[in-house]
Structure 1
Amino acid sequence: MQKYPAFTPKERENAITKEFGAVFLYGIGGELSNGKAHDGRAADYDDWSSVNENGYNGLNGDILVWNPVLNSAFELSSMGIRVDKKALQYQLEIRNNTERASLTFHRMLLDGHLPESIGGGIGQSRVCMFMLKKSHIGEVQVSIWDEQEKENLRIQGINIL
C-alpha cells in the first residue's frame, strides 16, 4: 500500500510482480492502511487477521508471479493457516457475519471439536500455464466451455484441450 498508494489492488499486484518477478502477499482479506481489503476472503476460512511473526496481519497469503504472456500478475497459489476459534470470532464480527457462528462447522470449531489446520497448495494448472507460456487455462486443463467462449478463443488462435 505504501509503495503504490494511488494504485488499485490489481495495479499493485502488477507493479510489484513486474519489479520482483515473484512475491508472497500476506494477509489477503484483511484491511490495509487505507481501511480497505486488498482482496476478498471469507471470514471463516483463512486467518487474515492474526499478527504473524513479521509483525504483519495475516497467516495467509498468495504467491504471485509476473506472467509475461498475460502481461500481468498471476496467482500460483493461495494458502494459509485456517481460522482458529479466536480468529473466527473476530473475523465474523469484522465482516458482520456473526450469524454464521451457528452453522455446524463454525459451531464445531468454536466449541473446540475440530483441529486447527493449514490449507492451500500450488495450482497445478496455473503452474502449467505459466511454465508452458499459455494464456488460457483451457490450453492445459480439459473442461467444458460454452460455444461463444470456444469461438472467441478460436478467433484469438488459442487451441483448448
Structure 2
Amino acid sequence: MDNRQVVGSWLSGPRAAAEEAGADFGYRGEHLGLPEQGPGSLARPGRRLGALAVDWTLCLLIAYSLITHGYDQATGNWALVVFFVLGVLTVGTIGFTPGKRLFGLRVIALGTGRVSPGRGLVRTLLLCLALPALVWDRDGRGLHDRLAGTVEVRI
C-alpha cells in the first residue's frame, strides 16, 4: 500500500477506511429497520437544518412581536423558550413542527412509531441544549434522538 492510499483513506474518514478493509455498514437507518429511500427513510441533514432554520425564525418572530415588542437582549432567550414550547407541544403530539412539516419530515418513536409527550419533552430539552444535537451516530441521528428513542424520517 502506498502513501497515497493511506492518506486517501484517512481523508475519506473512518467509514471509508473500514469499508475499504471489508466492513459493510449498510445504508443509514438499515439497522433501525428503516427503508433506504423514500417515505420512512432517515431524514438527511440538509432537510433537518432547513426545518430547524424555519422553526427558529418563526420562534424569533413570535418573541420579537408578541413578547419583547422589539429587539433587545432578551429576544433570543425568549425565542429559545418559544422554541422549547413549540417543540414539546408539536413533536410530543403530532410528531412534527411547522418547519419539519414544510420540509416533509416527521419524528417517530422507535418501536411504537408515535412520539409520546414525555419523549417529546426529553428530545426538545436536549435539542435546546444544542450539544446533544451536534453529536451524531453512524446513522446521522443526534444524541438527543438516541436518548429520547426517536428518529427523524421523511414523510
TM-score, normalised via structure 2 length: 0.25
Q: Which has the higher helix share?
A: 2
Structure number with higher relative contact order (C-alpha < 8 Å, ≥ 6 residues apart): 2
Q: Which has the higher strand share?
A: 1
